[in-house]
């Protein structure tokens, strides 16, 4: 069997992030650059390391979402 992916995030402008659910990359998060004539590649964190689990991706996504909507101490 080949690879299979589950779409987990649409970033806009046809850019997406996928969870590999089957194949050699199973369990990793892939960044989809096909809209920019690139292929799916490992999603990297701010330190340049691959995001290797869905839990790690999700907690990072949740932290960024909270920062975007919650007031900062200077807003209080």
Residue 29 pLDDT > 90: yes
In which band, very low, low, confident or very high, does the pLDDT at 38 lie, cut at 50, 70 and 90? Answer: confident
In which band, very low, low, confident or very high, does the pLDDT at 7 lie, cut at 50, 70 and 90? Answer: very high
* Dist. CA 12–CA 45, nearest whole Å: 19
Are 45 and 51 in contact by the 8 Å Cβ rule? The answer is yes
Instruction: Work out the percent of the chain whose per-residue pLDDT is above 90.
Output: 39
pTM of the model: 0.73
Q: Which of 60, 64, 56, 1 is nearest to 27 (CA)?
A: 56
């Amino acid at each position: 069997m080949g690879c299979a992916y589950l779409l987990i995030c649409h970033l806009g402008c046809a850019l997406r992030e996928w969870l590999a659910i089957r194949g050699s990359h199973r369990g990793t998060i892939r960044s989809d650059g096909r809209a920019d004539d690139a292929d799916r590649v490992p999603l990297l964190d701010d330190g340049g390391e691959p995001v290797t689990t869905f839990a790690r991706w999700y907690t990072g996504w949740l932290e960024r979402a909270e920062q975007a909507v919650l007031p900062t101490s200077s807003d209080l």
